[in-house]
Amino acid sequence: MDFNNQLTCIEGHYQKAWGYPTSTRLTWPGGLEWQLPLGFNVLEVPPHSQRPMWTYATIGMSAQGDAPPLELHLFSQTQYQPHAELLSSVAHYHCTGDYLGLSHTVNFGRPWMPESHCDHGLISLPYLDGPLLEWGDIAGRKTRFLWLVPISNAEKTFRHTHGMEALESLFESRDFDYFDPLRISFI
């Protein structure tokens, strides 16, 4: 399967899981896209009747031949195209640095959105979408689709000290608004 077909299959997997009517593909000009798989971009899906939030998702992160096939997405209350830069940076780290996977954390290097306390990300199961999204057969490779959840530095430290289950339990015990950029850190 050629690379363009692979990208189309990835987007088709998102379409099947999310049922969105329209989307836009974003790039991060001026970034390190030349070190990402050819054609890599970020899908921007506006809210619609089934999903009240903006969704941003990598397309092509899994095409890195020697890295575990992984695609990531995040949610936002508002349209915010710098999410393409954020996801491109995380994809770059996965493709050129250490491989990422479930329960890993990443440092965004800046707040997720202006004035946000969340400057890290937690790679989590796609709890809002379940198994329909989590696994896809893309070009004969079992590809994992995971959720990048913005978290604070203190929450990242808690996860590294107490584990993923403890952090997720903490989120469940509170009114965790996963796409509120101004939420207060739970730690």
pLDDT digits (tens, 9 = 90+) for 50-84: 889 999 999 999 887 777 899 999 999 999 999 99
Strand pairing partners for 24?
44
Q: What does the alpha-carbon distance between residue 14 and residue 11 come to, in Å, rounded to a whole number?
A: 5
In which band, very low, low, confident or very high, does the pLDDT at 118 lie, cut at 50, 70 and 90? very high
Average pLDDT estimate for 121-132: 94
The tens digit of pLDDT for each residue in 90-111 reads: 998 888 888 999 999 999 999 9
Q: How far is CA 167 from CA 5, 12, 15, 53, 114, in A?
A: 38, 32, 30, 23, 24
What pLDDT, on a 0 to 100 scale, did the predictor assign at position 95?
83
Range of the domain at 12: 3-173
State the greatest distance between any 2 C-alpha atoms of the chain, in Å, as a whole number.
46
Phi, psi of 107 (to 5 degrees): -95, 120
- Residue 111: inside a domain, yes or no? yes
Establish if 184 belongs to a structural domain.
Answer: no
* Whether pLDDT at 43 is above 80: yes
- Report pTM: 0.93
pLDDT, position 102: 96
Within a domain: residue 178?
A: no
What pLDDT is attached to residue 104? 97
Q: Structurally, how many domains does the chain consist of?
A: 1
CA dist 73 and 43 (Å) reads 9
The answer to whether 124 touches 117, Cβ cutoff 8 Å, is: no
CA separation for the pair 134, 13 (Å, rounded): 10
CB atoms within 10 A of CB 71: 25
pLDDT of 184 above 70: yes
Residue 186 within any structural domain of the chain: no
pLDDT band at 6 (very low <50, low <70, confident <90, very high): confident
- In angstroms and rounded to an integer, the radius of gyration of the C-alpha atoms of the chain is 16
Question: For 32-36, 66-70, 136-140, which range has the lowest pLDDT when averaged over its residues?
Answer: 32-36
The pLDDT, as a whole number, for residue 39 is 83
- What is the average per-residue pLDDT within 10-24? 91
Give domain status of residue 187, yes or no.
Answer: no
In a domain, 73, yes or no: yes
Domain-located, residue 179: no
Q: What is the pLDDT of residue 7?
A: 87
Residue 136 lies in a domain: yes
Q: What is the pLDDT of residue 51?
A: 87
